[in-house]
Structure formats: C-alpha cells, structure tokens
Amino acid sequence: MRDIDHLWIDGTRTTPLEGTVEERTHPADGSPTGRVVMGGAADVDRAVTAADRAFDHWSRTTPEERIALLENLLVEFDRRADDLADAVTEDMGAPVTLARGAHVPSGRTQIAGAIEAARAHAFEERRGNTVIRHEPLGPAALITPWNFPVLQMAGKTASALAAGCTVVLKPAESAARSAEVFAEVVHAAGTPAGVFNLVHGHGAVVGSALAAHPGIGVVSFTGSLTTAVRVTTAAAPTMKRVLTELGGKSPQILLPDADFDVAVGAVHRWMMAMTGQLCSAPSRTLVPRARMEEFLSVLVPSLEALTVGDPRDPATDMGPLVSEAQWNTVQGWIRRGLAEGARAVTGGPGKPEVAGGLEAGHYVRPTVLVDVTNDMAVAREEIFGPVMSVIPHDTVEEAIAIANDTPYGLAAYVVGADRERVEEVASRVRAGAVLLNDAELDWTAPWGGYKQSGNGREFGVEGMLGFLETKVIHGG
C-alpha cells in the first residue's frame, strides 16, 4: 500500500495547495491500496503557469529534439512496463495478462507512433512565396478516463509533445496509480521542467478548471458524452479547440454466412476480456434470425466457460468492474433490460461465484440479453459492463439500418464469408472504425468517432495534427 501525496508540477513532485486526500481500494477484493491527494483549482493554475512558461521553449524545438525526448520516453516506458501493467490492474481490475498483453503494448505503440508522426510530417511547406507552417496550439489539457489508462495517457501525451505542446494531464480519479507510474516514466526520460505536469483531482474541480483556463490552448478529452458536453461548455468562452473521444453502442453485424467462432472470438476479445469497459465494445450483436439458435449455442457455452475472478491471477479471463458504483450501474442496466422485456440466456443480475474469498470485489457475470429490440434503452445506452444485446435481423439491409440507428458511431464489427459483401457493409456503417472478421486492430491508425462518439482523431499523424495550428506566411 503506497500513498500518492503529490502532484507533478514544473518537473517536481509538488504538494497540492488545496484539495482532499482519498482512500483507494482494489477492485479485486476491496482491500485498501493507499491514499491519493486530489488537487484543486489553485493547483491547476500553477500547473498551467508552468506549462505556459515551458511552452516558450518547447514550442520552438525542432522535430528532431522532440523525437529525441520521445525516444527516451520509450526506453523508460519499456523499463517500467511491468509496473505500468500492475498499476492498471490495481486501478481498474484488468486481468494482469491483459494489462501486460494489451494495455501496456498499446500505450507503447502510441509513443512509437508519435515518433513516426513527428519524423514523417512536414511541419513547414512552401507553395510559391507562401509558407504554410504547423505550430503547436499551446499548453494542452489532457483529461483521461480509467478504462484504458496507459493507452490514453501515453497516446495523448506523446501526440501533444510531438506537436510541440506542453502538457497538463488530469487522469481519472480511478487511474491515479497508473498516472503516477507514467509521470515517473516521463520524468525519468529527462522531460524539461514544465513540459509535462500532472494534477490529480476530481473532474468537476480540476478537469473543469483546466477546460476553462485561458492559458490552455487545446483540450483532449476521453470519457462520457455527458462530461464532454460539460468540458466543451467550460471551454467555449475561450474558443480553445476541444478534441473528444466518447462512448459507443457498437454493432456487430453478422451476415447470413458468418462464421460464429469468429464472431464469438471478437466478443471475447473486445467485450468480455475488458469486462465490457471499452468504449468500442461490441454491445449489440445483430444476428440473422434464421441462425439465432445456432449463434447462441456457440456463444453461451463459451461465455459460461470463462473464469471470472481475481485479475492478479494469470488464469483469469474476466476481472471485476472498476468500482462498486460501476457494479451498481451495470446491475441496474441488467434489471432494466429484463423489465423492458429482454431475457437473459446467460448471466443476469447478482455476483458470480468467485474463488478465493473475494466477496468484496466488483464481479459480474457475462450477460447475454435476447428478445431485445433496438428501441429499448438497454440497446441504446452505453452500459460499460459485460452485457450484450442480441438483436435478430431478417435482411442485411435491416441489419445496416439497426446498426446505424444509434446516436453513437465509434466502432462497428462485420462478420461474413463473402469479402466483397463484408466490405460493402463496412462502407455503409457510420462509425470511425470498422473491424472485419477477426482483424487485428491497427493501434497506429487514427481512432475516433462519428456522431456523438466524438469529434477528433487520436494516434499517429492524425493524433498529432489535433495539437497543431496552421500559420501562413505570405511573401515568405
């Protein structure tokens, strides 16, 4: 058990000027993991002042100088990879195998991608006597969630630094340990004072103060739509750019000739392994009506065979939810689905049997709801738990219509044997990312949503462009 008693401001561990101290517990068993300081608006002010001061120098560095720092960052990140993974497990309950196999490597890919972006991008371009220059927007506020903390913190930080922005990071309250290890990594890489600052704190206090702060040039936010509206509103009077990556209710379209092993594989990988706590989780599976029984006969036993339990145990397939509050929310959604007329063919309310005296952990059963129609709340709202809505379709046209009948547009999944048909369906789904059959996710590709799933793109060149402003020198 270790306390986090400081923020990171101007290159040093700093005691907050105001705020509170809060206890943290492990999602696996409710045991205490240490206390964390929550800063206040005065701390935000100090961090922005430091970031602003450092911007004067950092914004005028060459891409090569920024690449050199990011390369150091990568070395330190690799050196602390196991600590980062353990911190993720302690913060939000991801199984340790997933933390090591996905959370940390995907964060690493973002740093490597930002290096490539800074190397490949023409920050200055001449068109006759006109010079087009891409310049950093200013100190960047990075407001991140708890569900994929290392990926989000590493991705946003690397893109902002590659662009020449300085950073004030406000991690999620439930990801303080991951943020702390990440800050140590950034510090050990030799980041100049003030270029990276971290303020722990509550969103409504620290996050909103950052969004509103006139010294911040750009906000990059990942989280819920409700919070994004608050962040955007707080930022509006200063007209700063606000990049958002939000939630989803991503459809998985199974075509009439779909291979169900492939479809179920994607459910495991993108939904159950994360206990449903992924913005792009395939939470609505659209199944050809004639093959519904067959699909369930493949899906249900595979879910019932999952080991739900201690995320610190390498044998665990699915860990707990992040918190008791999230557990209550997910229980509420399962009950609401049942009240709306859905039926649970596996899972349902309550806690599963979990070995090892972990009664206080936030465990939930993988749950499949059938008899769902797309107008039910359970099919429209993001649940952020391992709860799938299975919806029948009679034609591919109907499946596409159901897929697009959502305010969200983050991701979609299409499974079918006919490659041309799969690609045609993918082109008609309004979503920022479409995964075909058992495709690997390319973590270097741009990531972001259509519609109410957000307005920016993260990662790689596109991620860096979000932090850049365009200047034109006429007669240059």
Contact residues toward ligand ADP (CB under 6 A) are: 143-145, 170, 172-173, 203-204, 207-208, 211, 223-224, 227, 230-231
State the amino acid at position 242 in one-letter form.
V
Q: Report the run of H or E that residue 76 belongs to, with start and end.
A: helix 63-79
Q: To the nearest whole angstrom, how small is the minimum distance from the Cβ of residue 145 to ligand ADP?
A: 4
Phi, psi (deg, nearest 5) at residue 219: -115, 130
Q: Which is nearer to ligand ADP, 145 or 309 (CB)?
A: 145
Q: Which is nearer to ligand ADP, 110 or 277 (CB)?
A: 277
Sign of CA dihedral 230, 455, 77, 55: negative
Q: To the nearest whole angstrom, how small is the minimum distance from the Cβ of residue 154 to ligand ADP?
A: 15
Pick from 145, 77, 146, 86: which is nearest to 107 by CA?
A: 77
DSSP annotation of 204 reads I
Instruction: Report in angstroms the alpha-carbon separations of 81 from 47, 77, 85, 159, 342.
Output: 27, 6, 6, 20, 43
Pick from 41, 15, 66: which is nearest to 195 by CA?
A: 66
Q: Which is nearer to ligand ADP, 81 or 143 (CB)?
A: 143
Strands 367-370 vs 433-436: parallel, antiparallel or unpaired:
unpaired
DSSP 3-state helix, strand, coil percentages of the chain (rounded to 5)? Answer: 45, 20, 35
Q: Which is nearer to ligand ADP, 227 or 285 (CB)?
A: 227
Q: Which is nearer to ligand ADP, 38 or 422 (CB)?
A: 38
Q: To the nearest whole angstrom, how small is the minimum distance from the Cβ of residue 75 to ligand ADP?
A: 28
For the question of residue 279 being annotated catalytic, the response is yes
State the amino acid at position 263 in one-letter form.
A
Phi, psi (deg, nearest 5) at residue 366: -55, 125
Rounded Cα distance between 425 and 436, Å, is 10
Q: Which is nearer to ligand ADP, 230 or 393 (CB)?
A: 230
Pick from 360, 464, 460: which is nearest to 113 by CA?
A: 460
Start-to-end CA span in the chain (Å): 59
Q: To the nearest whole angstrom, how small is the minimum distance from the Cβ of residue 382 to ligand ADP?
A: 9
For the question of residue 165 being annotated catalytic, the response is no
Q: Which is nearer to ligand ADP, 58 or 384 (CB)?
A: 384
The pair of structure tokens assigned to 20 is 């509170």
Q: To the nearest whole angstrom, how small is the minimum distance from the Cβ of residue 305 to ligand ADP?
A: 29
Q: To the nearest whole angstrom, how small is the minimum distance from the Cβ of residue 198 to ligand ADP?
A: 12
Rounded Cα distance between 224 and 145, Å, is 9
The active-site residue, picked from 180, 245, 382, 458, is 245
Q: Which is nearer to ligand ADP, 144 or 453 (CB)?
A: 144
Pick from 1, 12, 9: which is nearest to 39 by CA?
A: 9
Q: Where are the alpha helices (DSSP H) in 99-207?
A: 104-120, 149-163, 176-188
The active-site residue, picked from 180, 279, 382, 458, is 279
Q: To the nearest whole angstrom, how small is the minimum distance from the Cβ of residue 242 to ligand ADP?
A: 11
Q: To the nearest whole angstrom, how small is the minimum distance from the Cβ of residue 250 to ligand ADP?
A: 16
The residues near 263 (Cβ < 8 Å, ≥ 6 apart) are 252, 254, 285, 295, 298, 299, 413, 415
Rounded Cα distance between 274 and 289, Å, is 28
What are the residue numbers of the active site? 245, 279
